[in-house]
Amino acid sequence: MTTDAQPEFDAGNWGKMARFAVAAGVVLSAATVAILLMVNPPKQCPSWTPLWQMLAVLSAPLLAMTGFVAIRWNWVAREAAKHQRRTMLFERLFGPMTPPAIPATYFMLSLCVAGSLLSQLPLFALVIQCTNWLRF
């Protein structure tokens, strides 16, 4: 009896941690959008336009990419494993190499956390530039 079941890469809760990081990034970005829609800009920031641009150019693509990785966790991990098994041009030219000892799921989790943190740059800019909270 042969089973062609695909391996699951969700052991150790890597996928759950990535989903949590992305969900937190989405919630904070939604809070940023709510602030920009409902609050008039203070005199320190005469216009919200740069923050809207940062949300559109930085936050939205990062959250979309990391959201895809977090939602399709097993598929992305399987594709990464297939990619690691391929013989690369460098190996054809110079011989076999030892693959890195970093699991693909660890890299994927780091990608999701870093993407979620970087997507919060508009909120960080809003707090630093447009409020007096952190000024002494």
Residues whose CB falls within 8 Å of the CB of residue 1, separated by 6 or more in sequence, listed in order: none
Total number of domains in the chain: 1
Look at residue 22 and tell me if it is in a domain.
no
**Residue 55: inside a domain, yes or no?**
yes
Report pTM. Answer: 0.80
Range of the domain at 81: 29-86+102-135
Report yes or no on 67 lying in a domain.
yes
66 inside domain: yes
Q: Rounded to the nearest 10 degrees, how much is the dihedral formed by the CA atoms of 70, 74, 76, 77?
A: 110
Top-confidence residue, 80 or 97: 80
Tell me if 92 is assigned to some domain: no
In a domain, 126, yes or no: yes
| Per-residue b or e along 40-69, where b marks 16 or more CB atoms closer than 10 Å to that residue's CB | eeeeeeeebeebeebbeeebeebbeebbeb
Residue 93, pLDDT score: 74
C-alpha–C-alpha distance, residues 8 and 66, integer Å: 19
Q: Is the pLDDT of residue 43 over 60?
A: yes
Residue 97 counted as domain residue: no
- The residue with greater pLDDT, 46 or 27, is 27
Q: What pLDDT, on a 0 to 100 scale, did the predictor assign at position 1?
A: 46
- The pLDDT of 11-27, averaged and rounded, is 90
- Residue 80 located in a structural domain: yes
